[in-house]
Structure 1
Amino acid sequence: MNYRHSFHAGNSADVVKHSLLIELVRALQQKPGALTLIDTHAGCGLYDLGGDDAQRTGEAVQGVVRAFADRNPLLDDYRAAVQTVNVAGEPHLYPGSPRFLARLLRPQDALILNEKHPEDAYTLRGVMRDTSAAVHERDAYEFWLAMLPPRTARGVVVVDPPYEQTDERARITATLAAAHRKWAHGVSVIWYPLKDRTVHGRWKEQLRALGIPKFLNVEHWLYDHDQPGIYNGAGLFIVNPPYAFTQALPPLLEALRAVLAPEGHRGEITCQWLRA
């Protein structure tokens, strides 16, 4: 499944992913120790919702536009982060994960970004020039392992590939296993699209077999029944989520489900631990 982000910026998956990223980093920041935030597939960093790619799919209408129309206070932090790259009113630009993460940085924290595509990396450097972020241009999976363990005791790795390659899930599984051996207490967040429940079920079993003790799985299914051959939602695998984050999840997930459910569907967001 090709998930080139300029076509999907601001969609329902972004709303869920970025809302949870904010909550996760804030939970880790309840302790004063420094964090290193690492993004392996950083993309361009900023997306034009009025551009040709985004307009071709129109997915932002069912995502960030809905989130802005809703007034649930649990989404205030998410809306405020999007608003920082817009002047007023309805969003016309959408920040990628690098901009969300940069906004969360404290003076003691560090942000390290990677984008393999040269043109996207060039754009990313321009988008992030007003931040302290370091930008690399490397193979994402080599970069992931090379950054571990980070200089700080604690940190988060965000893995958000476009799933353009047929071996993407296999590379994630192998790299996560190696990463966990190098940095067993580190927090990792892996995003993925949901299209085929059977294919995804097999991948989940492969990840479960890694035997990682604290492995949380959050899945957002848009429709009440699978829609064959199309995008059905997205999920996150989260290794070593902090306790404060897991405690805050139930009301946040319910708020997201209610805001993002397509017309005529209730939708579902599940949250389960993967047990070996």
Structure 2
Amino acid sequence: MNYRHSFHAGNSADVVKHSLLIALVRALQQKQGALTLIDTHAGCGLYDLGGEQAQRTGEAAQGVLRAFAGSTPVLNDYRAIVGAVNVGAEPRLYPGSPQFLAHLLRPQDVLILNEKHPEDAAALRGVMRGTLAAVHERDAYELWLAMLPTRTGRGVVVVDPPYEQADERARITGTLAAAHRKWAHGVSMIWYPLKDRATHQRWKGDLRRLGIPKFMSVEHWLYDADQPGIYNGAGLFIVNPPYAFTQALPPLLEALRDALAPEGHRGRITATWLDQQG
């Protein structure tokens, strides 16, 4: 599945991913020790919701615009970060994960961004100018391992690939296994699309066999039944989620499900431990 982000910026997957990313980083920041935040597939950093690519899909209407139309205070932090790059009540621009992470930085924290595509990397440097982010332009999986263990001891690695390559899942699995050996206590968040249930179940089996103890799977299914051949939703694998994050999840997940359910569908969003799944 090809998932070039400029076509999908601000969709339901972004709302879930970025809401959970905020909650994850905030939970880790309950301790004063410095964090290193690493984004392996950082993209451009900022997306025009009125641009040709975003308009071609129109997915923001079922994502960020629905989140802004609601009033639940559970999504206030998410709305605040999106609102910070916009003027007016309705978002015209959408921040990528690098800007969400930059907004969450404390003085003691470190932000490392990586984008392999030269044009996107150049755009990212422009967007992040004036911040303390370090921007790299190299293979995402090589960078992931090269940055571990982080100098600050604690940190988060965000892995959000476009799934353009047939071996993307295999590379994630292999790199995660190596990363866990180098940095067993580190936190990782891996985004994935939900389209082919059989492929996804095989991948979850591969990941389960890695034997990583604290491995959570969050899945957001948009429709009440699978819609064959189309995008059905997205999920996140989270390694070593902190206790404060897991405790805050139930109301956040319910707010996201309610805000993003397509008309005529209730939708479903779940958080389960990978080793407890059948």
- Name the residue aligned to 1:250: 250
Aligned counterparts of 2:64 and 2:142: Cα–Cα separation in 1: 32
Quote how far apart the aligned CAs of 1:251 are: 0.5
Count of residue correspondences: 276
Code of the aligned partner of 2:155: G
SS of corresponding position for 2:255: helix
Q: How does 1:23-42 map to 2 (within 5 A)?
A: 23-42=23-42
Aligned counterparts of 1:263 and 1:32: Cα–Cα separation in 2: 43
Code of the aligned partner of 1:98: P
SS of corresponding position for 1:180: helix
Aligned counterparts of 1:18 and 1:270: Cα–Cα separation in 2: 16
SS of corresponding position for 2:275: coil
- Name the residue aligned to 1:145: 145
- Name the residue aligned to 1:195: 195
Residues 7-40 of structure 1: CA deviation (Å, up to 9, x unaligned) = 0000000000000000000000000000000000
Aligned counterparts of 2:156 and 2:88: Cα–Cα separation in 1: 31
Residues 40-85 of structure 1: CA deviation (Å, up to 9, x unaligned) = 0000000000000000000000000000000000000000000000
TM-score, structure 1 length as denominator? Answer: 1.00
The answer to whether 1:9 aligns with 2:9 is: yes
Code of the aligned partner of 2:146: A
Aligned counterparts of 1:147 and 1:170: Cα–Cα separation in 2: 20
SS of corresponding position for 1:55: helix
The answer to whether 1:216 aligns with 2:212 is: no
Q: How does 1:157-176 map to 2 (within 5 A)?
A: 157-176=157-176
Quote how far apart the aligned CAs of 1:273 are: 0.2
Code of the aligned partner of 2:228: P
Code of the aligned partner of 1:72: T
Q: How does 1:92-241 map to 2 (within 5 A)?
A: 92-241=92-241
Aligned counterparts of 1:98 and 1:88: Cα–Cα separation in 2: 22
Aligned counterparts of 1:182 and 1:114: Cα–Cα separation in 2: 20
Aligned counterparts of 1:12 and 1:156: Cα–Cα separation in 2: 22
Q: Which runs of 5+ in 1 are unaligned?
A: none
Code of the aligned partner of 2:79: R
Quote how far apart the aligned CAs of 1:269 are: 0.1
Aligned counterparts of 1:163 and 1:201: Cα–Cα separation in 2: 16
Aligned counterparts of 2:47 and 2:95: Cα–Cα separation in 1: 6
Q: Which runs of 5+ in 2 are unaligned?
A: none
How many percent identity over aligned positions? 83
Q: List structure 1 segments (4+ residues) > 6 angstroms apart after TM superposition.
A: none
- Name the residue aligned to 2:44: 44
Quote how far apart the aligned CAs of 1:130 are: 1.8
Q: CA RMSD in A?
A: 0.6
Quote how far apart the aligned CAs of 1:246 are: 0.1
Q: How does 1:82-93 map to 2 (within 5 A)?
A: 82-93=82-93
TM-score, structure 2 length as denominator? Answer: 0.99
SS of corresponding position for 2:149: coil
Quote how far apart the aligned CAs of 1:275 are: 1.0
Aligned counterparts of 1:96 and 1:214: Cα–Cα separation in 2: 27
Aligned counterparts of 1:270 and 1:26: Cα–Cα separation in 2: 21
Aligned counterparts of 1:150 and 1:79: Cα–Cα separation in 2: 30
Residues 238-266 of structure 1: CA deviation (Å, up to 9, x unaligned) = 00000000000000000000000000000
Code of the aligned partner of 2:71: R
The answer to whether 1:264 aligns with 2:260 is: no
Code of the aligned partner of 2:239: V
Aligned counterparts of 1:150 and 1:211: Cα–Cα separation in 2: 22
